[in-house]
Amino acid sequence: MVNQELSDSLFRKFSELIYETTGINIHEGKKPLLQARLSKRLRATGIKSFEEYYRYVTSPQNFAEFINFIDAISTNLTYFFREEQHFIFLEEIALPEILQRKEKEHDRRIRMWSAACSTGEEPYSIAMCVLEYLEKRPVKPPWDFKILATDISTRVLRVAIRGVYPEERVQKVPLVLRQKYFEKITQDDETVYQVTKPLKDVVVFRRLNLKDPYPFKGSFEVIFCRNVMIYFDKPTQQDIITRMSYYLSPGGYLFVGHSESLAGLKHDLIYVRPAVYRKKG
């Protein structure tokens, strides 16, 4: 049982490590939270002290535990169709605009990015929204639609790739979509909902630290980067927004969380409405 206090000096060391590697800013007020998350890793590894764990996790040969450490300090709160206004906007404004432009360009490729996708509810929600829209407007050849979904945490990505959710997690999914895109199954004597193949086929999950270089070749018509910028300081926010804007197609849309804004950051995006921005062009 871990029953010790995280010293101020060691707290600063862990905070600096987290900031340098992820850009996440752990301020003094989050010391109890960090201590609780670290205590879980000490129990899991059998390491006896925070100081010993710091030495262990910063050793290059222990990279696997470093990933577990990052997983432990990442905050992952999400649910299906979170901030519903974004999906209404996507269906009523963004998609018609994007598809009209693509038709003129004779381009059938649609790419979207769910950055910080957590356990998959966001990209699967985007996928349902877009697939429903495209199904009502069939074209030949059909649209080539894919979503890239990324997160820094391997733990949440495993959940997302598996695509199995307890009953309470799918309550916000409209019944017609739940029946169409989820299969009701029994697992460990509990009723759970498994994402069906048509939905899984359009979402590709990858691990990505938003602070690292982005390994993309093409651009995206839509980027969702919601409720993650609040964990970064201004310089890191500026770097991320600059790079995201670069990978956004002209006329493409960036969605941020409703508790976030790009105020004070330099960018070439046009404010459309709260938490929605559009790239010029």
**Chain position carrying tokens 């109890």:** 32
Residues ≥6 apart with Cβ < 8 Å to 197 = none
Which of 37, 82, 226, 278 is the catalytic position?
37
The answer to whether the CB of 226 falls within 8 A of the CB of 257 is yes
Assess whether 151 carries a catalytic annotation: yes
Which of 41, 111, 151, 278 is an active site residue? 151
Question: Active-site residue 155, yes or no?
Answer: no
Q: Both tokens of residue 49?
A: 């002290």
Count the neighbouring beta carbons within 10 Å of the beta carbon of residue 260.
17
Got the DSSP string for 162-213? HTEEEGGGGTTS-HHHHHHHEEEEEETTEEEEEE-HHHHTTEEEEE--TTSP
Dihedral sign for Cα 188, 41, 123, 93, please. positive
Q: Which residues are known catalytic residues? A: 37, 151
